[in-house]
Structure formats: structure tokens, C-alpha cells
Amino acid sequence: MVIEDSVTIRINEKLTGESSVFSDPFIFKVPKELRSVNEEAYEPKLIAIGPYHHGKDHLLSMEDHKIRYLQNFLQQTSQKNVSRYVQVIRNLEERARKCYVEPLRFTHDEFVEMMLIDGCFIIEFIRKLRERDMEDLLFRSNHMLHSVMLDLLLLENQLPFFILRELLVTSNVSPDQESTFISMILVFYKSFLPGSLCNSSRAYTPENMIQIKNLLGLLHDHWQPSPARLEVYEKIRQAVERGFTHCATELKDAGIKFKSAVERNNLFDINFVNSTITIPKIQITDITECVLRNLIAYEQLTSFTSPKYFTDYMIFMDSLINSKKDVELLCHQGIIDNWKGDDEAIAILFNKLGEHVFYQSNLYADIVNNVKEHCKKRRNLCKKRCNPWMAKLRQDYFQSPWSFISVLAATMLLLLALTQTVYSVISYYK
């Protein structure tokens, strides 16, 4: 009889117990490097959804409100017995646990209860958004309403979308309730993200609904570049330096013009034609940084091979903005709509969004390279035009030391005369 080594036994137990780690979890914790730049952008203000923030003191006041929403949900459905929904979630528990990248210290009952109550809250909250239920406390205050909407977008505050889908299917409210639910989410969150929904007309079927990971993932997958911009990216796809080496004001001095893309409102549709960079307008409000940070964090933690649209956009804008002067220029051209009122704060926002962010190929590599080539040609042309004049100057005035001394003496006499004139004017007025 072979006695198995104790270390082998322990490792085998860990391999068995942690097999779920290899099932591609998609609900992440924000890396500490990203969190350190602006921790508040990733923390829920009013409500905890899912396990990562469950039970935090400042979020407990919403737990009673969740129960009221559960009651409202049950009243709206054909299946009014909560035990039916409990059984549905129990059947999904193991699959749902595997969606979270962090180990979860919840009992089976605690986890099932949390998934059910939080899932019903999200469904009922979206329904109430459509009806604008002014009897509900959340809808009497714009601050509370927007806080909840923002909390539901946070990277760490997510439920697997299949939990919501199964609750909807079990409720059996209407035949097209799932696609209607998705449409409502996209409509209500349209104002939270700059630009337009490129895929807002996409029809969802039971088959492709399976691809939706969570609420944040749903929104991310709809805010994407136009087919024309993606086609350019696919043709050129290449690594590129981190955006421009010169900021917007410096590029303006080099002959580059900036223009707002009035005819397009897709955030990512940036073009460079005839020495003009055309950029769609972006509205910067108090929630913009939080939304962008969570979308960028989502991209950083998903597949390395997928295009990272928000990351690429942020890197592009960050390279254009070094100071408030660059923000002033872009505001003047109608590219940035500054609702915060502080140009310096906008500059800091874009500069900090890129800290600790990984990037590979860039959606705007063609624009960056073409602008650099344009500036290079302009410099060469300027040098070519200046060379004959410099040669003439050297020939006429710097051919010998004496001619150089004569030019230097004449320059000094001119400066002295100018100084004397200024002094005389000042003395006269005194």
C-alpha cells in the first residue's frame, strides 16, 4: 500500500476546491494600483449589489428598501410565491459563485438570499425608472436617483446577468420582457455616457443574451466605435507610442487645427483630414470620471485581445491635454463641454485617468502617425524655405570676424537707443 505524501494531499485538496478559479470569472475587484489614484470612483455611495460591498455600514440603510422592491416585484409577477424564485437562484448558485474572481465567505443560504434580493431590486428599479414612480423615495430626490444609477454601474457592484434573466423568465410578465428590459437599461443610461449608442438598434434574442456578462458589460458593449473607425483599426492594428508627443496647443502652433464633429456624436469617431483633427463633443460632468474609470477598469481586466475603446480614447485625449490651456482650446472649439467649470480640474482628470493603465495596440494609431508625419513635413518645408535666407545672412554678415563684430555692435547700439527712449518716456510721465 502506497502512503501518499501529506503535501501532495494538501495540494490535491486545493486543486479540487479551487477548480472554479479556472472557469473565467468576469466580476472583478479593482486592482489596487488603479484604486489608489481615485478610490471613491469605485466605491458605492448608496447601495451594495452583490457580495463585494455587502454589509458595509454606510450602505445598510438601503437594505429595507430592497425588501420593499422585492414585494413590489412579486406583486407584478404571475409567480407571487417567493419560494419559486429561491429555488431558481439555488439552482444557479454554483454557477453564480464562479463569476466572482474573489473568494466569497457566504453560506449557501446567505448567498442565495443576496442574489435574489439584489436581482429583484435591479429589475424593479429599472421598471420604476420607466414609470417614474414619484411615490418612491428614490425618485423624489435626483441626487439619490443618480447615486443608485451610478452605483449599479460600478465594476465591483455587479450581478451575473443570467441571474436577472432567470428572474425575468420565471416572473413571466410578458413574452418580450427580456429584450424590453435591456432596451430600458440602454435608454435610461444613455445620459450617463458621453457619445451615442453605436449598437442601440441591436436586436437581442435568447441566444445572444447569454453573451451579456453584467450590467456594466452590457453598456460597455454598446458604447463602441462606428464600423468605419473599426475598419481602419482592423487594417492598421499596430502598437503605437502613448498618443501624441505634443499637446493640443503645441499642435495648433504647428499648424494642426481642431474641430468638433457636429455631424457625428459617436465618442470614438475621431478623424484627421486636411490638417484638421475632428473630435466628437464630450460632456464632462461630476459623474464622468467615475463612469470612465469603471469602464476602463472593466477593459483592463477582460481579454487582452479585445479592443479597449475607452482606454484608447482616454490615452488619445490625455496626450492632447497637458494643462488648462489645452482644455481652453478644446472647449473653445466645442470639443469639450465643461460642466465642472474648472479647466484645470479637467486637465488633471484626463492626466490621471491614464495612470497604471495598460495599453497595447491603439484605435487611433493611424491618426497619431499621420499627425506626426504632417508635422514632420511642415518642419522640413519650413527648414527648406529658411535655408537660403540663412545662407545669405551668413555670407553677408558672418563671413569674417570683423563683419560679425560690426553686426553685434550695431545691435547693441539699437538696444541702447531703445532703452534710452523707454526711459525718457517714463521720466516724462512721472
Closest CA to 363 of 298, 319, 301, 308: 308
Residue 203, C-alpha cell as written in the block: 436586436
Proportion of the chain in helix, strand, coil states, percent, rounded to 5: 60, 5, 35
Phi/psi of residue 305, nearest 5 degrees: -85, -20
- Which pLDDT belongs to residue 200? 53
d(CA 244, CA 239): 13
- Which pLDDT belongs to residue 78? 74
Q: What value, to the nearest 5°, has the Cα angle with vertex 24 and ends 22 and 25?
A: 110
Number of Cβ within a 10 Å radius of residue 287: 18
Average pLDDT, consecutive stretches of 10 residues, N- to C-terminus, the chain (430 residues): 66 56 80 96 98 97 96 86 96 97 95 98 94 85 93 98 95 78 90 64 66 93 84 72 83 94 82 94 93 95 76 94 97 94 94 89 87 82 58 56 64 78 68
Closest CA to 129 of 171, 186, 44, 176: 186
- Which pLDDT belongs to residue 148? 97
Number of Cβ within a 10 Å radius of residue 382: 12
- Which pLDDT belongs to residue 21? 42
pTM: 0.83
d(CA 156, CA 45): 12
> Virtual CA dihedral for 238, 239, 245, 249, nearest 10 degrees?
50
Closest CA to 41 of 56, 25, 30, 27: 30
d(CA 388, CA 397): 14
Strands 336-338 and 257-260: unpaired
Closest CA to 188 of 126, 230, 138, 233: 126
